[in-house]
Amino acid sequence: MTIRPIIRYPDRRLAMPARPVSAFDDGLRELAQDLLETMRAAPLIGITAPHIGVPLRVVVLELDAGEGPLTYVNPVIEWASPEMIMHREGSVSMPGVNDEVQRHARVRIGYHDLDGTMRSEESEGLRAVCHQHEIDQLDGMFWIQRLSRLKRERLVKKFEKLMRS
């Protein structure tokens, strides 16, 4: 178990689509454990392998301490509700800034577990927002791309100022 360095915006690796996982082995389980340790150390509620510079489609979420962490391998959105919600989002790769992002209120995702078994999950609210946010990241879409150009430029300037101080 290792806490890995988190890459920062505007690192171009954040804009690259992640590759599907094909080997469901000890290396994948070790990556998932490292993601969990890195996420908890930050502390966060979600992280992807690209956030630590590993271009694989792996997400770890921990939204409820009682439920424990969940690992999603090769997740895809299979269905999204027409109803939309606004939710304040940010990223471990761009700490200190956040803004309201419009997302689908409910989604169904398909994914593999760490053993390679295909699964499906329906979510709403915060969990649905997290699924969409992290899958966007796996697709190479950084969360600020969902904002207007004006909001995006304002957040980038704020982040650059934070990083200088």
What CA–CA distances, in Å, run from 72 to 37, 78, 112? 16, 14, 6
> Are 112 and 24 spatial neighbours (Cβ–Cβ below 8 Å)?
yes
Q: Hey, which residues are catalytic here? A: 134
**Structure tokens that stand for 30 in this block:** 């070790």
Give the three-class secondary structure for 85: strand
**Structure tokens that stand for 127 in this block:** 């969990």
> Are 134 and 46 spatial neighbours (Cβ–Cβ below 8 Å)?
yes
> Are 127 and 117 spatial neighbours (Cβ–Cβ below 8 Å)?
no
Bridging pattern class, strands 106-112 and 118-124:
antiparallel
